[in-house]
Amino acid sequence: MTGEVKPGDADAPAGFIDAAARSEFARLAAVIFLTAMTNQQSVLLAVVWEDVGFSPRDIGLLIAIYGVPLVAMSLFSGPLANRIGILQTVRIGAVLTVLGFVSLYLTHESVIGSLVSRLIQGTGFALFHAPVMTYGSTRLTRERFVRLFGLLSAMAPLPYAFGPILAEFLYHWLGHYGYFLAGAVPGLLGLPLLWTFRAVDKTEGPVGGILGLLASRRIWPPLIAAIVYGYMFGFISAYAAPFLVERGIVVGAFFTAFTVSIFAVRFGGLALIENVDRRLVVAGGAVLLASGLTMVALATSLPGVVAAGFVFGLGHSIGFPVLSAWICDGTPPEQRATPMAVFNATFFAAMTVIALPASLAIAQVGYVPVMVTMSVSSLGLAVLLAIAWSRRFRR
């Protein structure tokens, strides 16, 4: 399927630009899921490198280095998409994501080789994620936008539900080499689909590029919120497991509840907040993130952890897609690559950077005070957004 997009089809399904866009939306969701599934197989890399004899310092470096291209290239993905086209950027990103992971088949026994593979993989997923979400937004109209965009964005975290289980199974069943080959299969299956979408016109991007966008006052509230959402998500991803292990509670209980919550909301719950002010929705999500993290900190039993995972997932699943839509408000669909790139880079940076200060703070005062402090900061964001929303009534 080729040719330029021509929106405005009178027979278009509700929420889509034309009749063909609904099929493209479904295929795009499959591509995002399959690519993210291959990327998520990296969850067991620390075990692989430990087995081949790498030092803890080298393993830590190889895990952390992924975040460098993820942040830097997320920022670059917008200008690149404006220059060569959104779909071309998505294709390059997907290919590099799969190549970076499967290349570990050859490089996983070498620190330098593994480093190169991780840099390729991080670059690939950064170039893939923001542009693919931008392309998805061009398939949609304002009607049902938050609901449908939220459903699309849920495809990336979906592998968190069973990706680690699959990775562990493949590793124990096939060993080092088979693990890398089998883990690349989902991403390889998704690649041909990327040549079935219609192109969108290349654009010059927003006037002034990234700097011009950052100079706009309207972008800062969602960007500040993206920082808070990013470090809350980054903290729970990095430290929920060791914290729960320390308490003797099954780690999977939290992340399974988290994923179930995401899909419960995005398959139906977002319809209820479609027309609610963005600031209120993001503030409500921040309150739920704070509540979920506090519940984890205080949990001493499996039911408590399950409830915490559900509440934290509820907050993330309500706020994140609305933030993604908020950052693009007022921007034509074909020019959304740059604001989406800035948003993703901000979120990924906060998600990645939080690990170091959090580890230092945990070493000094322990998990619970750090988790409570972060929850308070999320509540602070909610208060600021609520105040900003209330000002409209004073004019």
Domain containing 101 — which CATH number?
A: 1.20.1250.20
Please tell me the predicted confidence (pLDDT) of residue 377.
Answer: 96
Count of all residues that appear for the chain in the document: 395
pLDDT at 394: 57
Q: Decide if 342 is inside a domain.
A: no
Nearest to 64 by CA among 118, 109, 104: 118
Say yes or no: 57 and 170 in one domain: yes
Do 31 and 134 belong to one domain?
yes
List the domain range (segments joined by +) for residue 108.
10-194
Residue 171 CB contacts under 8 Å (≥ 6 apart), including other chains: 44, 47, 48, 179
Orientation of helix 145-153 relative to helix 251-266, angle to 10°: 150
d(CA 36, CA 159): 7
pLDDT in tens, the chain (395 residues): 444 444 455 567 778 888 898 999 999 999 999 999 998 888 788 788 888 888 878 887 887 788 889 888 988 888 888 889 899 999 999 999 999 999 999 999 999 999 999 999 999 999 998 889 889 888 888 777 777 887 888 788 777 767 667 777 888 888 888 989 999 999 999 999 999 999 886 665 554 566 666 667 778 889 999 999 999 988 887 788 778 878 888 777 888 888 888 777 766 666 667 678 888 999 999 999 999 999 999 998 889 999 999 999 899 888 888 887 888 777 776 677 778 888 888 888 888 888 778 888 888 898 899 999 999 999 999 999 999 888 765 55
Q: Quote the pLDDT of residue 92.
A: 96
Residues 6+ apart with CB under 8 A from 166: 37, 41
Number of domains in the chain: 2
Residues 6+ apart with CB under 8 A from 88: 81
Report pLDDT for 293.
95
Residues 112 and 138 in one domain: yes
State the pLDDT at residue 341.
82
What is the structure's pLDDT at 331?
74
- The two tokens of residue 81 are 């998409």
Give the pLDDT score at 143.
76
* Nearest by Cα to 292 from 280, 304, 278: 304
Neighbours of 255 (CB within 10 A): 25
212 part of a folded domain: yes
Q: Do 189 and 220 fall within a single domain?
A: no
One domain for residues 233 and 177: no
Distance CA 125, CA 70 (A): 7
Whether 359 maps to a domain, the answer reads yes
Instruction: Report if residue 361 sits inside a domain.
Output: yes
Residue 337 resides in a domain: no
The pLDDT assigned to 203 comes to: 61
Do 243 and 123 share a structural domain? no
Q: Is 338 inside any structural domain?
A: no
Q: Can you give the pLDDT at residue 2?
A: 41
Distance CA 366, CA 42 (A): 28
